[in-house]
Structure 1
């Protein structure tokens, strides 16, 4: 029998040579150490072994024998470590799932640095090298750079700072509890049996062999009633057992007969006339949904191609005619090209997970979800339960980005297994499941034609998008081009191309980044042909007042004014500067409610909303604290429970705009109640009258629902009104079916990127990023900057690295690990300047709208335009892989 000490306490290690250190740590209740990749790539499981950082997901438990082990819970156990204080002060975190691993590694770096370098400040390069084994999908790298640098310089040797994020302390100490950390007495582990063929009918499903295995408590079928699987990874059955090893043994024992059917993989193959059909006409309703709204309008199908969908076109026939004429005349101003964008995985570090248990007649489900209240309603409907008999809980959520917006298979499997086993069951996807079947931003092919008029205006635009949606429908890419750059005529056509691949899902600004990638490059190309400044042309073509102000900001940047043309550069490394713009809709959710109460002399704010890392707690706390002259930490914010007043889902950048207005209404109500019930008034000249009145107040409670906006200023209308009658119909359906309102005004972003291109090896590095955002008043300024930075780094990943790879014959996802699916690391983070323009949304109560979507839309085309500026070659396919760039340079030289 061997042992170790963990955070100063003795721990007996298991004799099993296959036992991993991370399992021993987490099974012992120290859940701050997170399992993410399982392959030593992401760093989330980092611990200290005799003071040296190691990844516990690869280390056998026996490797810790007779050594000292320190987890995140032991770092700063006698008081916060300077690195923990710095992470809190600089908001060097968002969802927080990766934060414990970063803190452990950074604390070790700090201690070594201080021992050898004193209070010198490490460079960005030194910090990046030290933390290069860690990944943050939220993109909190900019704050991490600042935090580590200042901790090493001694700034945080003193007292604990005031953190801008309410839950920061729990996240930097590993105390924040996520769904994967939940453990009930008698809890079982659930595992899903998935299809290994892309298309088949399943017959002869026999669950008995699995049920016969010792330690198995329940086995349930998960097939649809047609017994079909339409992609590799489709669910067949699920098992609940005493541990994961037993559950895996059980699903291996399940027998069935797959009757293979013809399959088709990918965009090009699925469009062939002779391609096997994924969904017969009678089965089309079984297709998944890649949009954030309800199902789209009825659209024609031909084989695997759903479309054309063109409700946002404007004088499409006229656009076709003008473009045909321009082709015949070989008009030099006509810009035409085909653009391709790759699949982008959400790659949330906390996997899709659910823990279900029945407590008498009540169903309690912990879910890593972006929609607590909606999940409760859907679960209640599915299982025929009253709303008050279903409780959905999500204390903390480790990222989502659109992939966790609905009741997923993990939740259904956990509930079914818990009901069958009569015991709590946890179902958590492994990393391969997360990177294959949990959703993705669809790849797409975009054919674009853009025609300026002889007078320099935008005359005609045609954009046709074919989205590679897998077994899903309802993409919207081309249609989003209706709401920017007014033209005399626009032909905007969307197609879904279905194939035997897992269904896509909404991803941060769904449809926006691919649309912008094509359109913003075409606008830049038009500027080159017209011999005008690209920002000047955008100002001419784009009348939106929010973006007009951002164009002026971008034009005044030194990096823009001092850029050099490609022809003026020589040598291996070339630098370029590019600009792009983007927008997203201003959305809010009807029925969103906030309760404010005084309990025991303290204000309590409650709402059934979740915080996926965007800072919802802090937004509510800041709003309340400001009104009562308090500090945000004086406000007790209670979220993450479906039993609280109805809250919005975290999708479409609608949370802040849905919650701040009713919070302001509730504040007015609470103030009135405090005055009405006050037994005494504050002393004359009091410095804190509201604090005194709150402390003396009896327990009271008020609530408010999200009210309608005020009248917008002249010329500002809901974005969908600009899309004509079909836009207004779409907005009405969105409100009726999804309780979402498209408000007046358009959140906007203009980005300027400076890149360095290695013309020998084809590598692109983003050196400096400048992002201007018009998103109204900032409810939580530090967190707004964090969101903007995270959006930029995800856009950089989309442009330079990220691409799902699938076997074109079998449909197996080949990039099912974080070794094979590359997301940006800390060394990929450029220096970032964020400019917020807070005007434009004064008609919104509180003046705040969303940030997360709009801030990532223009990143990839800004990088593309910068590359064109650097080397004189336009790249039309992302990611910008080295082989593609080198081939483009060779083609240029050959020409």
Structure 2
């Protein structure tokens, strides 16, 4: 729960911490292997569980033979639909006043009936003394099925797609003018079809859960990026009081969206612990992650662009179809960025979904935008080729002054400066216009460019900040550390707000007993928590001043808070008069002071949620807030084999103010690496006849390794957004946006071949 500073470079209280590359406070324990993750949590007498998966896509279980499994020495229980304790079903629909209603990865009431909803659905849980015993026994469970007709081929289901149903508070799609008519009349146009495959999360830490029951009180250690979601969901499913459920997640070994929802493993681990009447751990294998945790949906997209001969866009048409499961899933809103990036006269963006008997898809880093920018930015490159125009010049020419779809103002946007800086750093001016112009023997070289775009969210977080007489500060918030340095940046923010060294700040996180925070997702956790930390620190400073003003001996008597600054561990005026917090507390006889943000009652929390949603809707009606950037990519393509190597990368971002350059650069580079994987190798292969994932594991699903990734030059403008706390925007997802398109555009420049289907494997270049 606690992340204390470790080997951090000493700082001065007068030197701002925000904006400095401060070492991560948990860096030493993580790099030395001392950090504890969910599957490391020791419990006496702990049992282990594993899953048995369905082998059909849709139908019913007609027989299930567990006798052989139950006879294995060390097996404690084999749980099936025949003997599973009943669960309450998940929430039927999303309630915008309770976002935990979107926590369920699927609508299935696990082991609640003989129904099968997708190939891979858990149909039994084996609990044993050891993991090896559980795995051995699981192989002995025999299941017979009556299969029913199932829809398992996404390409074949294209014709059945229906208009997507989004979340009411997050409307997607839109139109301006008659884009189809403008497209038909355009002097120059392109009209292209793109496909992207399903992709799976492969965090370094697979999903794991440890569950312990004490009567009706449940403690769960879970590798989740949504602690409060898990807590509320489990309280609902097991029909126990919310206050009786505790969720602990001090460290998560990567999330990317897959750990933002509650999947079968978490629920069934808690069920197994209740049946076995002892602590149970269920750590998913890589295969089980593929088969029970949703990933990115496959998409079919159309991008059509019309322009005048000088490059002015007259029409943008971006429509997309994505897959959802019959028992859950969300639209992959591929056209989100197409409403905002370019100043087209007419725009049409529309999303549809095709329903399959498949594991529901889920959010995966920059949902919608990661694959949507592949299509849009490839289309822009193709249009530039038709115009015989430099593709960067085409983008610059269509940079809007206000939101293209509806004229709303941008809260902050300086993408043009990012284009200019990136081009200079990359040497873009030396790029020949004609494809296949850069050759080195059998190696063809090409340069590509693409725009990055992501709209971060900001939610609500409860926070307490406590200042002790010894000058130490404790920030408490139930946020998640998914590997991004959350404790470090919040310590920097609190340190500056109170005028204390970073080393004096300790951040407690990762526990549902702490003040409630939203999930780590949507590139919103840092800004969300920062807003509350700043308010709590301001409350604390005012409390300190109120104490000081009561003393006739205090130099702060009669002062206003607006006249003071926080520095050197206290409050001081411009003339140097003031005193430290320790002096204020000692004189008052108080051991500590606390600032708090957040509702203290459930009624207050609902009221706060109503106010937040009203403000959010109002904000969306007035303005558009987004992180943007540009990617420049160089590739080398073997003319004989079609092998593609990314050899150089330069990216420049406009992401508002950067709190910690070291952690921000890591996040942006990580997004680019993930995008390179999507461009060149990542695809979840599904047998269209059976719906079974083929090659569910890292042996067949190829993520980039060090040899696949060049040195990545990342920089940013560091210009604050005036509408956000400290001017920051999220950096977790904008990095992947546009990456696949930059690679594809560079490949076209190298070879003259336009690849419109991901990934860009050699066969697509040689076919």
When the two structures are superposed, what TM-score results if normalisation uses the length of structure 1?
0.70
User: Closer, same or farther in 2 for the Cα pair 1:420/1:599, shift >3 Å?
Assistant: farther
Counterpart Cα distance in 2 of 1:176 and 1:682: 45
1:608-619 to 2 correspondences below 5 Å? 608-619=478-489
User: Which residue of 135, 145, 148 maps to 1:258?
Assistant: 145
Matched, 1:877 2:757: yes
2:509 aligned partner: 639
Are the equivalent residues in 2 in contact too, given 1:682–1:689 (CA < 8 A)? no
Matched, 1:555 2:417: no
Counterpart Cα distance in 1 of 2:374 and 2:319: 13
CA displacement at 1:486 relative to structure 2: 3.4
User: Which residue of 183, 200, 204 maps to 1:323?
Assistant: 183
Are the equivalent residues in 1 in contact too, given 2:469–2:581 (CA < 8 A)? no
Counterpart Cα distance in 2 of 1:638 and 1:689: 21
User: Which residue of 359, 364, 369 maps to 2:214?
Assistant: 359
CA displacement at 1:736 relative to structure 2: 7.6
Matched, 1:839 2:719: yes
Counterpart Cα distance in 1 of 2:716 and 2:337: 24
Matched, 1:350 2:205: yes
CA displacement at 1:423 relative to structure 2: 0.8
Matched, 1:543 2:405: no
* Structure 1 stretch displaced more, 459-468 or 198-207: 198-207
User: Which residue of 188, 198, 211 maps to 2:47?
Assistant: 188
Are the equivalent residues in 1 in contact too, given 2:166–2:172 (CA < 8 A)? no
CA displacement at 1:487 relative to structure 2: 2.4
2:366 aligned partner: 509
Q: CA RMSD in A?
A: 3.3
CA displacement at 1:497 relative to structure 2: 2.2
Matched, 1:387 2:242: yes
| Residues 704-744 of structure 1: per-residue CA shift (max 9 Å, x gap) | 249xxxxxxxxxxxxxxxxxxxxxxxx99994899998674
Stretches of structure 1 that go unaligned for 5 or more consecutive residues are 1-83, 90-161, 285-290, 299-308, 707-730, 888-895
Q: Secondary structure at the match of 2:766?
A: helix
Q: Secondary structure at the match of 2:458?
A: strand
Higher relative contact order (CA 8 A, sep 6+): 2
User: Which residue of 673, 677, 686 maps to 1:797?
Assistant: 677
Counterpart Cα distance in 2 of 1:353 and 1:687: 43
2:334 aligned partner: 477
User: Closer, same or farther in 2 for the Cα pair 1:821/1:168, shift >3 Å?
Assistant: same
CA displacement at 1:640 relative to structure 2: 0.3
Q: Secondary structure at the match of 2:156?
A: helix
1:750 aligned partner: 630
Are the equivalent residues in 1 in contact too, given 2:720–2:726 (CA < 8 A)? no
Matched, 1:762 2:631: no
Are the equivalent residues in 2 in contact too, given 1:778–1:838 (CA < 8 A)? yes
Stretches of structure 2 that go unaligned for 5 or more consecutive residues are 1-5, 10-20, 82-109, 402-412, 557-565, 572-578, 586-590, 600-608
1:525 aligned partner: 382
Are the equivalent residues in 2 in contact too, given 1:358–1:418 (CA < 8 A)? yes
Counterpart Cα distance in 2 of 1:751 and 1:732: 39
1:700 aligned partner: 593
Q: Secondary structure at the match of 2:338?
A: helix
1:80-479 to 2 correspondences below 5 Å? 164-205=23-64, 210-211=69-70, 213-221=72-80, 223=110, 225=112, 227-271=114-158, 296=167, 312-315=173-176, 318-325=178-185, 331=187, 333-453=188-308, 456-471=311-326, 472-475=328-331, 476-479=333-336
User: Closer, same or farther in 2 for the Cα pair 1:630/1:617, shift >3 Å?
Assistant: same
CA displacement at 1:641 relative to structure 2: 0.6
Counterpart Cα distance in 1 of 2:227 and 2:618: 16
2:563 aligned partner: none
Counterpart Cα distance in 2 of 1:393 and 1:410: 16
User: Which residue of 502, 524, 530 maps to 1:660?
Assistant: 530
Counterpart Cα distance in 1 of 2:516 and 2:714: 33
User: Closer, same or farther in 2 for the Cα pair 1:495/1:558, shift >3 Å?
Assistant: closer
Counterpart Cα distance in 1 of 2:729 and 2:117: 39
User: Closer, same or farther in 2 for the Cα pair 1:599/1:358, shift >3 Å?
Assistant: farther
* Structure 1 stretch displaced more, 840-849 or 449-458: 449-458
CA displacement at 1:700 relative to structure 2: 2.3
Are the equivalent residues in 2 in contact too, given 1:734–1:741 (CA < 8 A)? no
Are the equivalent residues in 2 in contact too, given 1:674–1:693 (CA < 8 A)? no
| Residues 304-338 of structure 1: per-residue CA shift (max 9 Å, x gap) | xxxxx99623147x222333455xxxx5x111111
Counterpart Cα distance in 2 of 1:639 and 1:236: 35
| Residues 244-292 of structure 1: per-residue CA shift (max 9 Å, x gap) | 232234434444431112234332233467xxx9xxx9xx9xxxxxx9x
Q: Secondary structure at the match of 1:395?
A: coil
Are the equivalent residues in 2 in contact too, given 1:310–1:492 (CA < 8 A)? no
Counterpart Cα distance in 2 of 1:396 and 1:735: 30
| Residues 135-162 of structure 1: per-residue CA shift (max 9 Å, x gap) | xxxxxxxxxxxxxxxxxxxxxxxxxxx9
Matched, 1:496 2:366: no
User: Closer, same or farther in 2 for the Cα pair 1:311/1:352, shift >3 Å?
Assistant: closer
CA displacement at 1:561 relative to structure 2: 1.4
CA displacement at 1:464 relative to structure 2: 2.3
1:850 aligned partner: 730
When the two structures are superposed, what TM-score results if normalisation uses the length of structure 2?
0.81
| Residues 19-43 of structure 1: per-residue CA shift (max 9 Å, x gap) | xxxxxxxxxxxxxxxxxxxxxxxxx
* Structure 1 stretch displaced more, 741-750 or 522-531: 741-750
CA displacement at 1:794 relative to structure 2: 0.4
Q: Secondary structure at the match of 1:379?
A: helix
CA displacement at 1:656 relative to structure 2: 1.0
Counterpart Cα distance in 2 of 1:529 and 1:269: 32
| Residues 419-461 of structure 1: per-residue CA shift (max 9 Å, x gap) | 1111111111101112333222122121221111356421122
Are the equivalent residues in 2 in contact too, given 1:266–1:470 (CA < 8 A)? no
Q: Secondary structure at the match of 2:626?
A: coil
Counterpart Cα distance in 2 of 1:881 and 1:666: 52
CA displacement at 1:352 relative to structure 2: 1.1
Counterpart Cα distance in 2 of 1:541 and 1:671: 47
2:462 aligned partner: 593
CA displacement at 1:784 relative to structure 2: 0.3
Counterpart Cα distance in 2 of 1:481 and 1:373: 33
| Residues 358-382 of structure 1: per-residue CA shift (max 9 Å, x gap) | 1344211011001112221222222
Matched, 1:606 2:493: no
User: Closer, same or farther in 2 for the Cα pair 1:179/1:848, shift >3 Å?
Assistant: same
Counterpart Cα distance in 1 of 2:172 and 2:182: 20
